[in-house]
Every structure is written in structure tokens, then in C-alpha cells.
Structure 1
Amino acid sequence: MNSKLAFTWEKAKQLAEQIVFNNLQEHLKDIEIDVLRGSWEGLTYEKMAEQYHMSVSYLRGDVGYYLWRKLSEALGEEVTKSNFKGALERAGERQLPPHIDSNVKEPKSPLAELAFPDGSVPLGSPFYVNRDALESVCYETVLKPASLIRIKAPKLMGKTSLLTRILAHAESQNYQTVYLDLSSVERAILTNLDKFVLWLCFMVGRKLKLENRLKDYWETEILGSNDNCTVYFEEYLLPQINCPLVLGLDEVDRIFPYNQVVEDFFGMLRSWHEKGKISEQWKQLRLVIAHSTEVYIPLDMNQSPFNAGLPVTLLEFDHKQVLNLAHLHGLNWNDIQVKELMNIVGGHPYLLRLAMYKVYTTKATLKQLLQDASTEAGIYSSHLRWYLEMLHSEEAQGLKEALKKVVISLEPVELDSMQIYKLHSMGLVQQQDNQVMPRCNLYREYFRRVL
């Protein structure tokens, strides 16, 4: 009885995210978490559609269908909207350590609740590794009028972790902040400029807890999508908050493939940045955008935000940072052990943290872990399988053969520019001038075998 009372929404959410990532190597999307919470609260899809301003068919037929299918696969049993609570609670009873249900509070070290490294590093976590002076530069820049910060790095390299810290710093200065993750936006919105900027205006207003007044400002007969969006920010959103606003856009390369949207949208962002140089109103807006690769659609240099503002490129951790991270995990490693791990995974933040998490929590030896690393029995099997499935998907046409060339060659190889863009944004390769090589030996060994 006590365990049932203790099983809260927050624990259910955390457990669902962890189990899905552990088994499927993917994160739950924001809208999937919204549907999960709505289901937890007993809402029908109709009520959720009304609350989230989306169609019932989309929530039930797309989001709900894939959400319950993911949980079914991850939990190993049939999961539906009506039985997911019990399924998650049973999984929690199998996985959670005894102290979760204990009423006795015992002193715990920071490592006693070491979280699985399944995404961005939470604010306040001791496991966030500062990248020399990079954070300080970003913190100073975001406080400047009309500033623009561009964070670029492949997947799982720490973009979101840095982005959220920049927003948190701005909040500490009494700025308003809005974080939007474009990876969770449905394709029907991303491929239509008018729908996309309407979504942007609506979501920013909602995050700021402002009344939706789009109907009062949207003039479709005279103004285009960009002008309407600009007017809504200029005449309604910015004046309403009367303080600086930092807009953080994560995964903006999600719209790179859509020519009909990318040019106009990024042109609008650049125009906002330029307006801030002369307009007191637009000086209040600061932009932070994160993306995995360069935009591969040619943009007018005067209309692109990708040649303005502060460029921030996240590199892999160096030897000293990895050694420090190991010590934060309670591992008494020396230079030799750090070199052994980096020889397999390089300075890749996620791959490093996963190895350290496993060594600390399972007491496995680093030697055994590295021997199995590129096999189906290794700790990276789910991560590697996810990549393999991506390479076999229709969206990745031609990438499988391109990567095969890279992993079987001992020298950097030349590829088609689009293949380089896509493989680099996925985090599978690193560039050397106009050539590429595997990002780490783990990827070389695994894909040389399976491809």
C-alpha cells in the first residue's frame, strides 16, 4: 500500500523516460510526455486535444499509438492508456533501490542517487563538465542587447545541457526565458511556414503565460507569415513582459530539409537580430539556437543567422576533463585507464558517462567493459542498434554505404557533401578538412562488422 502511495507522477515520468531510453535508445518527445501525463490524470484524448490545442486524431492515432508501442516494447508487456500505471509501477518495484520506499532518511552522498546518463545533464548536477571559459562567454553574451548565440555540435555532445544553463543564467538576472525543442514538433507544422510561425507565436505566449491573441494580430490578406509573426512579437509579446526575453530554440536543424520554410524562417530570425541594433523594443530579444550541423541549403549571407552572433562549437572532452569526470563518478582512475577508455570512445561526453556509470553501479571492470564494447553484449548495444536502424531507414538512403567506406578505410575518405553533413550531424564521423573518419574506434569496430 505504501509503495502505491509513493508512486507519484514525477516517479512514473522519470521511470518511463529511463526505461524507454535504456531499451530503445531514444527519448520520449515532449508531446508524448504530455499525453502520458494527461493519461495519468485520467483525461480523454478529446480533453487533451482541447488542452494542448491539437487534433484528437493526431494525439490518439499518432502520438498515443507510438507512445504505447514504445512502452510495450521497453517493458516487455502489452501497455495501453488504461493499464500503463500498473505496468510502470511493477517495473519500478523491480528496479528501484530499497531506500526509495523507506521512510527512514539516511545521509547519502551525491553518488548514492547517480542518475542514468540518458540525455542532457540536469541543472545543479555535479556531473556537468565545464568547457574552460565557454560557459562564461555565453553567460556574458546573453545579457547583451539583441545578442545571438549559435551552439553547434553533433548529437549527444551537450548542446541542450549548455543551452539550459544559458537560460538559467538569464533567469537569475530576472530575464524571461522560453525553451522550445523543435525535435518534438510534428512534420505537418514544420513543412508549412504559416503553421510553423503560428506555432512559434502560440508556444512563446503560452510559456510566458500570456493570453492567446493571435486572431487580433494575424492579418493574412495583407501580410505574409514572417510579417505577421514579427508584428505579434513586436506589438504584443515583447511589450507584455517589459523585460529582456531569451528565446532558446533547440534542434533547429530539424527544419533544414524543408526549403519552403528554412529560408524564410531563418531570414526572419536574422532580421530580428538586426532590428535589435536600432530598435529599443527588439534589443529586449536575445536568441540562442542549437543545431547539429551547418544548414545545407544556401542562404543569402545577409539573411542567415548562421554567420552572425556568437558561434559556439562543442568539442569532445580532453584527457584532463575525462579524468575529472571519472573522479566525480567516484572512480579512482589514473591516466592509463583514462587513455584506455578514450582509445575506444574518444572524448564523447555521452559514451564516457555511460561507461563510468556502468563501472560505478555494476562494479564491472573497465577491461571487461571495453572488450565487449562493440558487441551486442556490450553496454553500448542499444546505442549502436539505434544508429544501425537509422542507417537502414528510408531517410538515410545512401548513408549506409557511405559509412561503410569510412569504417573500412584506415585513412580519412572523401564523401558527397550531403553525406558528410548527415553523418556528422548524427555524430558518427568527424571531419578533417573535406574528408571524414569515424568519430571513435567504437563506431569503426561495430559498423565495420555489421555493415
Structure 2
Amino acid sequence: MKKILILSANPTNTDKLRLDEEVREIQAGLERARSRDQFEIITKWAVRTDDLRRALLDYEPEIVHFSGHGAGNQGLALENNAGEIQLVSTAALARLFKLFKNQVECVLLNACYSEVQAVAIHQHIDCVVGMSQAIGDRAAIEFAVGFYDALGADRTYEEAYEFGCTAIDLENIPESATPVLKSRNNLTDNSETNQGTSQESTSAVKVISLENPEGQVPLDSAFYIERPPIETDCYETILKPGALIRIKAPRQMGKTSLMTRILNHAHQHDYQYASVNFQSADAEFLSSLDLFLQWFCASITNELNIPVKLEDYWQGVLGSKNKCTNYFQRYLLPVINTPIALGLDEVDEVFKHPVIAADFFGLLRAWHERSKNELVWKNLRLVIAHSKEVYIPLNINQSPFNVGLPIELPDLNHSQVQDLVKRHGINWSDSQVEELRKLVDGHPYLVRVALYEIARGRITLPKLQQIAATEEGPYSDHLRRHWLNLQIDAELLAAIAQVVTADSPVNVGVEAAFKLRSMGLVKFQGNDVIPLCDLYRQYFSARLGIKQGNSPT
């Protein structure tokens, strides 16, 4: 008989997990299994460090299952004597399991960002499962149930892992790529990494069909690359009363993809959610504040799939902002009666209408302030995404852009680009990865376009380097859009000419620098800027008739 030791920890100062449901489902699955007599389940709750060590000594399990919180490189979250979080380091866990390498056959770490611990423990244990990124409660439970159902049917650990991932897929949860298997018996495992792998590097790859890199990255895509700790911070924040998250990044950097995942995470915790893209607002609704707020309320109501009742709340002499507030406070929020995660995408469109913008953003800030003390407003969680700097004049106490959790999406780093290369089935050296990064930096869209074309066999890296900045290359539409936008503003055109000409960082003035950064064309070095990548330097130099190393005439 094999012993399954299930260790659970949910410190009081961390988000509540559905650990009891997970254990109950595992037990129920094994009780009805064909080989139920071959397994004994031992459960330990609110596990402290001493409990972990003693349980391994006392019960001598063949399978160890941990349910709780993970913190990437910082370790796994157990509890201290006060029931609060106590992190156990990766090195300590590896050293502990080394002492049981002749006893323990399999370790399952059902905790966010636990791949780094799985890699370390795998040095001593033949089969270890960890999570490459954050995982929702539903996906974690489905994986565990699928895994143990398969073990109960006499399947191997490797097969049980596949059944666990399939269980997630069957429930249409877009997280089946999150569990990562480290096994000496898995001949197809290409996820081996060295000890010290960071949570930024997700090396376990499932081979799937390529995706055309346009628009947001689908929830079930294997080509979404997390940029820790951003996702974890957002997932934790959205579950807090009155949360406000503001995401800023140039276009095609992944704002909408991140917003979608935040809303999905909220949905997995049984929140209602809705998203509004302000680019979808007809011009007529942007002509007056009253029409705009009616459109805003109606759009959200439709997204929540409840009846629109504007006529009941849009009457009398009260101003438009009061009517909009009443609609939320007396109808939307009470009717839903659960937290609502509201995504506001492309709010740059509102910036173009300063009168509407000042009142609308002031309204969002007022709602956020009310959430600190009023129960009904605590259920409203806001996620705001924009590309441009906020140049409209907003009172510091009436702006939502100086409160909440600020997120500025960075470019992908070397290990993240390397991960994306692997996900496209491309076998490159570090120097080849760096050549691509030199051409397009770590811009997610530009990187994905290159890898998509290379993976399809349509182009090679040397050929891409040769034609990338020309109309023949795969970036022609992207580059042309930037060129047309620059031509509208003579000052920006002069600024980009300075930037691509200079051999060192250049000061083009605060406003021009931030506008060029909002467009994604430059990056800061101190107060000065340089081109984001060689692609932009080459393209704009050619368009401006500037030879490299020469000043514009």
C-alpha cells in the first residue's frame, strides 16, 4: 500500500484557498477507484516547518502532496505558530527531500510558482510536479483530481500528470500548460532546467500549433509569457475590497492580455466581471458627458447580462455623475451582490475629450475613495489600461492615476524571450536569442512576429535582420503606422530624428520623451532616451534620409 501525505497550509495573512475542497475531491476519487485498496491518504492541515519534517519521518509516504501558496524563488508558504506565513526556502526543501530519496517516489506541489522548488527537489526525487506560474483554485483542484483518479486506475505518475492536465482542459479552464512535470522516466520531457532557474523562466513547453501574433493573446494560449511579479501582484490585488489596478504600456505590449487574465482570475474566485473598450464608443456618445455615462452604464449592464434600467435612474435634476453613481450604487452593485471586476480598456480614447475625461476619471476616483468605508462600493474592483501619459489637467485628489496598484509592463528579458523561442519549437543558442533582442529588444509583439515567421519556415534570422526595417519585411505595417503618427506632430518627428542619429542617449525634452515612450519607440536611460531597438533606428533613419552616424540636415 502506498501512502499519500497531503500537506496543506493557508496562512491567515494570505488569500483564502479552497484546500478542503481539494482534499475532499481527492479522497472521493480514490475511494471509488479500482485500486483504492492500494492507497492510504494522510492529511495534515495548517502545516508548520516542524510538522513537515515530522510528518515525513512519522508516515514514510511514497507520495507527498502540498496544497497552498508558492512564492517563486522565495519558497513555499507554510505557517508559523501564529498561523501567519513562514516561507521555506527552495534549498531547505531540496535538502529535506534528499533525506527521503529512497522512500518518496513522487512530490506534487499544487502551489503557484512552485516550478523552481520542483526543479530543486527533482535532484533527489524521480518524479516532481510544480506550477510554472499562478494557478487558479479551479484548475488546481481539477489537476489534482485528474492526477489521483489516474493513479487509482493503476496509471504511472507520468500518465497521471497528463490526465491532470487533460482534466483542466475538459473543464475549459485555460491553465493546462501551468503544471510542469519533472521526471526521469518521461522520455518526452523537455522541461529540465538547472537548479536556480528563476520564476521568470518557464521551461516546460507543450508542443501546440502556432498562433498568428495579432491582438490579445488568448487565455488558453501557450504563447503568453508572464512577467513576474506583475501577474501575482495583480491577482492578489484584484481580490481586495475596492481594488484599483492601472496598467500602462505602449501599444502591443500586452495590456489587454494581462487585463483579460486579471478578470479571468477574478472569475475563478466567483466574481462577476465585465470589460469595456472605449474604442467601441460611437462618436455621438463622446459629444456630451451625459450621453457618455449612459453608454458606459449600459455597456457594463449588457456585459453582466442583466436588464438595462437607465430610465429608472436617469431622471430628475441631479447631474449626470450623480445619476451614474446612483445606477451603480442602487442597481448594478446590489443586484449582482458579489464582487465585480471591471476592466476599462483603451481609456486613451477618453483623453481626446478633456471635458468628459476630467469628470469621468474624477468619478472613478470618487468611487475608489468610497470603497474604503462603504460596503457596497467595496465590491467594485477596477482595472484601467492606457498607453499614453495622462496630460489632461486632473486635480491630484480627483485622479485615479495616482492611486491603486501601478503596473508598467516591461519588455521581455533574455530568459523570457528564450522561453518564447522554445515555445515556438525553435532551437537557438544564447547568441541567436541576443541577436533577435538586439533587433527588436524584448517587445512582445515584435518578438512573436519574428518567431512566428521563423517557425513557419518563411524566413531565417539572418534574412530577417536584412529586411526587417524595409517594406519587404514582416514589420512593414507596424512601422508605417508609427511613421504616419510621427508625421502628424512636427516636434515628435524632430525628436525621433535626434534620437536615431545620436550615438549616445539624448535629451529631447520631457514631453517629447514621454510621448515617444508612450508610442513604444524609445526607452529611458536616466532622463535621456535611446531607440528601443535597432529596427526603429534603421527604419526611421531610412525614412528621414539619415545615414547612420550623421546628423539630420
TM-score class, shorter: 0.7 to 0.9
Moved >4 Å (runs of 4+): 109-112
CA shift for structure 1 position 112: 5.4
Q: What is the distance in 1 between the residues matched to 2:487 and 2:282?
A: 22
Structure-2 residue corresponding to 1:311:
406
SS in 1 for 2:246: strand
Letter in 2 for 1:292: S
Aligned counterpart in structure 2 of residue 401 of structure 1, from 490, 494, 505:
494
Letter in 1 for 2:213: P
Per-residue CA deviation, residues 30-89 of structure 1 (Å, 9 max, x unaligned), is xxxxxxxxxxxxxxxxxxxxxxxxxxxxxxxxxxxxxxxxxxxxxxxxxxxxxxxxxxxx
Aligned counterpart in structure 2 of residue 354 of structure 1, from 445, 449, 463:
449
- 1:434 matches 2:527: yes
* Larger CA Rg, structure 1 vs 2: 2
Indicate how the Cα distance of structure 1 residues 185 and 404 shifts in structure 2: closer, same or farther if over 3 A, else same.
farther
Structure-2 residue corresponding to 1:10:
none
Letter in 2 for 1:438: P
Q: What is the distance in 1 between the residues matched to 2:282 and 2:532?
A: 30
Aligned counterpart in structure 2 of residue 150 of structure 1, from 223, 236, 246:
246
Q: What is the distance in 1 between the residues matched to 2:504 and 2:459?
A: 34
Structure-1 residue corresponding to 2:288:
192
Contact 1:296 1:421 in 2 (8 A): no
Letter in 1 for 2:529: V
Per-residue CA deviation, residues 358-416 of structure 1 (Å, 9 max, x unaligned), is 000125221111111111211211211122222234xx454323322221222333334
For structure 1, the residue ranges without an aligned partner over 5 or more in a row are: 1-108
For structure 2, the residue ranges without an aligned partner over 5 or more in a row are: 1-204, 545-553
- 1:225 matches 2:312: no
Q: What is the distance in 2 between the residues matched to 1:447 and 1:187?
A: 33
Aligned counterpart in structure 2 of residue 234 of structure 1, from 305, 324, 329:
329
Aligned counterpart in structure 2 of residue 203 of structure 1, from 276, 299, 316:
299
TM-score scaled by structure 2? 0.59
Structure-1 residue corresponding to 2:543:
450
Per-residue CA deviation, residues 65-124 of structure 1 (Å, 9 max, x unaligned), is xxxxxxxxxxxxxxxxxxxxxxxxxxxxxxxxxxxxxxxxxxxx9655311101211001
Identity %: 50
Contact 2:347 2:384 in 1 (8 A): yes
Matches within 5 A, 1:15-54: none
Structure-1 residue corresponding to 2:435:
340
Letter in 1 for 2:513: I
Contact 2:389 2:515 in 1 (8 A): no
Structure-1 residue corresponding to 2:274:
178
Q: What is the distance in 1 between the residues matched to 2:507 and 2:318?
A: 46
Structure-2 residue corresponding to 1:87:
none
Contact 1:296 1:418 in 2 (8 A): no
Q: What is the distance in 2 between the residues matched to 1:113 and 1:126?
A: 9
SS in 1 for 2:419: helix
Q: What is the distance in 1 between the residues matched to 2:533 and 2:441?
A: 6
The answer to which structure has the higher helix fraction is 1
Specify which structure has the bigger relative contact order, considering alpha-carbon pairs within 8 angstroms and separated by 6 or more residues.
1
The answer to which structure has the higher strand fraction is 2
Q: What is the distance in 1 between the residues matched to 2:384 and 2:333?
A: 19
Matches within 5 A, 1:57-206: 113-206=209-302
Give the CA RMSD over aligned residues. 1.7
Per-residue CA deviation, residues 179-198 of structure 1 (Å, 9 max, x unaligned), is 11112323442342212111
Q: What is the distance in 2 between the residues matched to 1:240 and 1:222?
A: 25
CA shift for structure 1 position 282: 0.3
Q: What is the distance in 2 between the residues matched to 1:190 and 1:422?
A: 24
